[in-house]
Amino acid sequence: MGNPPVAVITGTTHGIGTVTSHGLARAGYTVVMLCRNVQAATVLAQDIGARAPGSRIEVVHCDLASLSSVRAAAREVRERHPRIDRLINNAGIVSTWHRFSVDGHELTFATNYLGPFLLTRLLLPALAPGTRIINVSSKVHYRGRVDLDSVDNPRASYNSIAAYARSKLANVLDTFALARRLAGTGITANCLHPGVVATNLLPGWLNFIRPLFRRFILTPEQGARTTLYLALNSQAATLHGEYLDEHQQVRPAARIAHDLLLQEQLLTRSARWTGLNQASA
């Protein structure tokens, strides 16, 4: 028998990422968890191993808000695994106030978009026909506006929801642009809305009114369904350059997400921000 397939996933220590990691392990994947909190990830790896005997779970330190950390993580993953079968960009944050990454970019945008952008490009050489790239976005991308000049401007006005929406629109724009570039390679790229999920992304004040709309909030198990569908379902292998909802249905993304000029402007600026070049790719 050959080696088990390899799945690389970010943001596994909470919510959807935890459930997704369990599902991948049960499906027979070697799960490589890229996490900022190595201690928490190690505890999770032990739990997954106990629940899925025989599974192989690895932990690699990766702070998506730090481009140097992303580069180090990508290098370690490629040294361990010449071939990657699933790449799931799952991690996400919402910064409640205007903060910046160590590289000088607005923190929510840096964590939710720039880090995954760089990670994906650095891991592309390890991807082969049949590999699936899955980006966890959000329905909030419909409200997003990508003002590229404000990403590293400390004087720009800041709203946490607007910042989150911008980062998630960037995820969709990037998915569609990447899908065009991967056409004909056998590697697929898709993005999704997991639903409104009861995770640590929800602001604390929401706990006071949570009972009013409890029926609209999904559990992490429900929120992980579309990610696991894209990763594991045989029918999902034919999907490419699509946006799916929490019910595993293909839906139209925001019109602006299909703007080819904006896609290219974002990619050009992202390559400059991350220092991406042919040598590093």
Active site residues: 164
Q: Provide the token pair at 240.
A: 């490419």
What does DSSP assign to residue 86? E
What does DSSP assign to residue 175? H
H helical segments located in 140-224: 160-182, 220-223
Residue 190 burial (C-beta neighbours within 10 Å; 0-12, 13-18, 19+): buried
Cβ-contact 220, 198 below 8 angstroms: yes
| Dist. CA 272–CA 281, nearest whole Å | 13
Cβ-contact 62, 37 below 8 angstroms: no
**Residue carrying structure tokens 């929120």:** 223
For residue 149, the tally of other CB atoms under 10 A from its CB is: 8
For 36-54, letters b (16+ CB in 10 Å) and e give: beeeebeebbeebeeebee
Cβ-contact 52, 22 below 8 angstroms: yes
Count, in order, helices (H) and strands (E) of the chain.
Answer: 9, 8
57: part of which helix (H) or strand (E)? strand 57-61
